Amino acid sequence: MAPTTFAQKVLAQASGEPAVEPGQIVNARIDLAMSHENAALVLRSFREIGASQVWDRDKMVILFDHRIPANTTKAAENHKAVREFVRAEGLPHFYDMREGICHQVLPEKGHVRPGMLIVGSDSHTTSYGALGAFSTGIGATEMASVWATGELWLKVPRTIRIRFEGDLLPGVMSKDVILNVIGQLGADGADYRCVEYTGPTVDAMSVASRLVLCNMAVEMGAKAGVCFPDQKVQRYLAGRTTKAYVPVVSDADAPVERTLELDVSKLGPQVACPHQVDNVRPVEEVEGLPIDQALIGSCTNGRMEDLIAAASLISGQTVAEGVRLIIVPASREVYLEAMERGILASFVRAGALVLNPGCGPCLGAHQGLLAPGERAITTTNRNFRGRMGSPEAEIYLASPLTVAASAIKGVVTDPRRLML
Amino acid sequence: MKGRVWRYGDHVNTDLIISGRYLDDYDPRHLARHALEDLDPVFSQDVRYGDIIVAGRNFGCGSSREQAPVALKTAGVAAVVATSFARIFYRNAINIGLPVVECPEAHANFHVGEIALINIEKGILVNESTGRTMRFDPLPPFLLEILRSGGLVSTTRKRFQPKP
Ligand code: SF4
């Protein structure tokens, strides 16, 4: 057999073809379909399609995370419509608002396994590549079609392989690595591609850190991002799923479009400046800019290791006068652990607001919007104009360490200054 | 199709096309009223049925929100022409029946208010105001079919209609 990429292998498997080529359009069978609140929108199209029932109850996950608790009456109505549908269809994998953000909850609950083909009606569905799945975002109408048929047309993407070498310096996190990559490749630098993250730096990363890399693959236009599964992934999955899985890995000599070798051993903290994710600069260049709000959370950086990193700087300190620090743990599991380990208490003592697990202000729907002229630094994944409230506000993206340091100082701050 | 051109730059993202603060209400007319609001407040007031958007690279990057193409289509936009599209927007547009044309030459060859003529099936784009003709790769036949039937819902519905 000719050597093939991860994307080719998963999509061949899913479409029942012996082999597929990049550029080929296949009709793929979906292993898992995820929707959040926009299930309400999916539902409308699903009804119009007129299928008598969903294709496979066990392969669907629905949860609420974007607007929880409901922030408007309309949102509450949408939640209600979805709940009624879930009940009527008898869908077993439904998480009402208590669990947290989809991209954290699905891995936690064992829905994501290596080699699966996953679609979600959310662009950051690319996250699940951290566990070796091929996963990508789709729209609501095509999700309705998946609910009805279990199938979807997909183009087999070309592959960009990024090989990272070197140990990360203290004060540097996987968020800095991915911001740096996006800055280099550009917001459309990986358009339609599958991005493979490989090399010793990735091997050394936790599953949580790899989730950050794959989460943000879509910010350079990628269709999917993947880290090949290893023992860490096996350990992560043990106790979360009993279902069997077969890891899928690219052949070393597979035909990739482009290979990048990046040495990250000298990389410092990075910041994405307004209003594009690829507007990335070393933190030194923006240090000293006053901030009004700081946010630690989201599907990008709301996990235990992120909260621990932030607490290592914030614990025993006070949030700067005039700065609102908002903490949003990514899931109930994270929330509980952070609570039990006293981390949430240390944030609250420092003057932070701790919100319920969910998307919170990340998408600008509620819970902490920005006024015109305000500036925020956040661990989320998008700094588009108007993303978190007023289009006249500025959003800077950074790692949990950089955001924590900035919250304490009241200005954008290199976290290494506080780590001496 | 033929329409008046609105011209925008690179990386017009989905938050600019329709902001997250309007997404709790799925009524397409509500979305259309706020289309492109944070980028160009004039757009939703002045857009006319049949207008065409010409943009630069990576149009529609960002979220998977289908409300983005829905907002544009409901506002009256007949097609979006761009140097390149972000993939989810591209799929969503076709799935809801909004024609998308990838034509790298277009951005440099159109100004606001000029008249564009598009032949989607043949892959021809003409700037009627200047007379310049450009070509693009037409969509694969099965995607054209989805567009022609008004979107993916109608295409999929055929599979579930009772056989006569
Ligand atoms: S946390 Fe933000 S980026 Fe992640 S799923 Fe929620 S809204 Fe989207």
Q: What is the mean pLDDT of residues B108-131?
A: 97
Tell me the shortest Cα–Cα distance from B107 to chain A, in angstroms. 17
Q: In terms of Cα–Cα distance, which of A290, A305, A304, A356 is closest to A326?
A: A356
Mutation choice for B interface testing from A46, A49, A74 by most B CBs within 10 A: A49
Query: What percent of chain B is predicted at pLDDT more than 70?
Result: 98
SS3 content of chain B, % helix, strand, coil (to 5): 35, 20, 45
Domain boundaries, chain A: 6-262, 271-418
List the single residue in A74, A125, A188 with the smallest CB-CB distance to B84.
Answer: A188
Q: Classify A6-262 by CATH class.
A: alpha beta
SS3 A125: helix
pTM for the complete prediction? 0.95
- Would you call B95 an interface residue with chain A, using a CB distance cutoff of 8 Å? yes
Give the number of A-B residue pairs with CB atoms closer than 8 Å. Answer: 130
Indicate whether B29 pLDDT > 90.
yes
Residue numbers in B near A385 (CB within 8 A): 15-16, 38-39
* Position B54 confidence tier, pLDDT thresholds 50, 70, 90: very high
Domain limits for position B37:
2-160
Long-range contacts of A408-411 (CB under 8 A, 24+ apart): A408/A313, A408/A314, A408/A317, A408/A318, A408/A319, A408/A320, A408/A350, A409/A320, A410/A290, A410/A291, A410/A320, A410/A321, A410/A322, A410/A323, A411/A287, A411/A288, A411/A289, A411/A290, A411/A291, A411/A320
Q: How far is it, in rounded angstroms, from Cα A410 to Cα A403? A: 10
> Is the predicted pLDDT of residue B163 greater than 70, yes or no?
no
Shortest distance between the Cα of B43 and any Cα of chain A, in A, equals 16
Going by pLDDT thresholds of 50, 70 and 90, the confidence category of residue B159 is confident
Rounded to the nearest angstrom, the distance between the alpha carbon of A124 and the centre of ligand 1 is 7
Q: How many CB atoms lie within 10 A of CB B116?
A: 26
Q: Is A84 on the interface with B (CB under 8 A)?
A: no
Instruction: Flag whether residue B41 sits within 8 Å of chain A, measured between CB atoms.
Output: no
Please give the pLDDT value at position B161: 81
Number of domains in chain B: 1
Most B CBs within 10 Å, among A191, A370, A380, A388, to test the B interface: A191
CATH 3.40.640.10, applies to A271-418 = no
Residue B86 in contact with partner chain A when CB distance is under 8 A:
yes
Tell me if A329 sits within 8 A of A100, measured CB to CB. yes
Domain of B88, CATH number, reads: 3.20.19.10
Question: What pLDDT is recorded for position B25?
Answer: 87
pLDDT profile of chain A (420 residues), mean per 10: 95 97 95 97 95 96 97 96 98 97 98 98 98 97 97 96 98 98 97 97 98 98 98 97 97 96 98 97 98 98 98 98 98 98 98 97 95 98 96 97 98 95
The answer to whether residue B129 neighbours chain A at the CB level (below 8 Å) is: no
Site to probe by mutation for ligand 1, drawn from A102, A125, A178, A299 as the one with most ligand atoms within 8 Å of Cβ, is A299
Q: Helices (DSSP H) in A34-128: which residue ranges?
A: 39-49, 73-89, 102-108
Q: Is A372 on the interface with B (CB under 8 A)?
A: no
- pLDDT value at residue B164: 60
Mean pLDDT along residues B120-137: 97
- The secondary structure of A219-234 as a DSSP string is GGT-SEEEE---HHHH
ipTM of the prediction greater than 0.85, yes or no: yes
* Chain CA centroid to CA B74, Å: 11
Q: Which of A215, A299, A387 to mutate to test the interface with B (most CBs of B within 10 A)?
A: A387
Q: What average pLDDT score do residues B34-61 get?
A: 96
